[in-house]
Chains A and B, each alone.
Chain A
């Protein structure tokens, strides 16, 4: 199970009164901070076997593995009633509202986005920009938006501009950097992208994309700047009206003017970041993930998706 301790702690009193929250609260009652970030092994009966996250900021994986193995042995040595308690919790005892899944129409262009920084001076595992960490997100374009990523003229080698609104979604929703910074349209200083048909074979078109991107913010919530370039290639099936493949890659410098002591270490303000957007392979663990800024998508886009 993977979930948010903050979400559980922020439930209403009515929700907290139900069995699910009480189960969790009771499980973690003996820990220093109660319902708090961490990795735990618990039984279906509601007993904490052990906490297994150790080492900060460098995880002590040996200790964690030893404790994981010991926890499993401890569980197996328990009696059935100790392991399971009396019953599974009924749905009536659900505290956390059942998640409303939003699924994009299958015909939409659904992209999976990952980003990672390159090595930088003074990098430290405490720093969220460290290259061992990466960011995952989704970017969705509707059927009509998807068609705007195909050159209107199919003349080979003739570049055509990509609709600025599509590029703005890419930049405003932080797809080329590591974290979800607060961008507004006026922060976008340059959003130029061209697309060119490079080859044709039957119904298939090979399209190349090239972009120059710059966003710069100095607001109460965001004092940062990104400057980078994008290259991309895609194969469009004109008969099926779908992309067979789609890959956008960007490389740029991201500068945080005011480093935060709870997220960053050292004095390095600028890191170089690589980002990738490709056709979403639809990992099973991500079936319930929407774009992080889905709520910022235009109303006319959101209205096309039903829960």
Chain B
């Protein structure tokens, strides 16, 4: 669920600026076939597949408040609505 939510919010932020769907922005990951084995020749390509692309990294440009009260205090001061993602876990692995 957490991964879907993160992917979704990334897509939402992305789509607001670029006309791309979630799947379109991540076509490379869906199309890339696994190499048979890891070699120095494909080292960079495998590293790239394991990395996050620019769209995914956008999620990390946000300084996410980690509690409702922190968010409410900041939002009150700024007079802004709160975008609240609730998930099971945190920004790391799924449970």
Contact = CB atoms under 8 A, between A and B. Distances in A.
Contact of B43 (A91, A231, A286): A231
B37 A119 contact: no
A65 B12 contact: yes
A85 B82 CA distance: 14
Contacts of A289: 90-92
A251 interface: yes
Contacts of B26: 131-132
A88 B26 CA distance: 40
Nearest to A134: B52
B36 to A, nearest CB: 9
Given A62-B15, A68-B83, A118-B49, 4 more contacts: A3-B66, A3-B67, A39-B5, A134-B50
Contacts of B32: 118-119, 131
Contacts of A231: 38-40, 43
Interface string B1-41: 10111011101100110000111001001111111011110
Interface of A: 1-6, 8, 19-20, 23-24, 35-44, 46, 49, 52-53, 55-59, 61-62, 64-65, 68-69, 71-72, 75, 80, 83-85, 87-89, 91, 93-96, 98-99, 114-116, 118-119, 125, 128, 131-138, 174, 178-180, 228-231, 233, 247, 249-251, 272, 274-276, 283-286, 288-289, 292
Query: Which of B12, B22, B64, B81 gathers the greatest number of chain A CB atoms within 10 Å?
Result: B81
A23 B84 CA distance: 13
A88 B46 contact: no
Contacts of A249: 38, 43, 46-47, 50
Given A180-B93, A231-B40, A285-B62, A89 B72 contact: yes
8 contacts: A5-B87, A44-B75, A44-B76, A44-B81, A75-B80, A133-B3, A274-B50, A289-B91
B88 A119 contact: no
B27 to A, nearest CB: 10
B21 to A, nearest CB: 6
A229 B38 CA distance: 7
Contacts of B85: 1-3, 38-39
Given A2-B87, A125-B4, A68 B67 contact: no
Interface residues of B, number: 70
A40 B84 contact: yes
Contacts of B54: none
A61 B12 contact: yes
A118 B34 contact: yes
Given A39-B9, A119-B32, A2 B64 contact: yes
Contacts of B75: 43-44
B68 A3 contact: yes
Contacts of B70: 1
Contacts of A85: 76
A183 to B, nearest CB: 13
B81 A42 contact: yes
A88 B8 contact: no
B91 A23 contact: no
Contact of B73 (A68, A72, A88, A180): A88
**CB-based closest 6 A-B pairs:** A118-B34, A1-B71, A276-B50, A251-B38, A59-B8, A88-B76
A114 B81 contact: no
Contact of A23 (B21, B68, B80): B68
Contact of A42 (B1, B82, B91): B82
B29 to A, nearest CB: 4
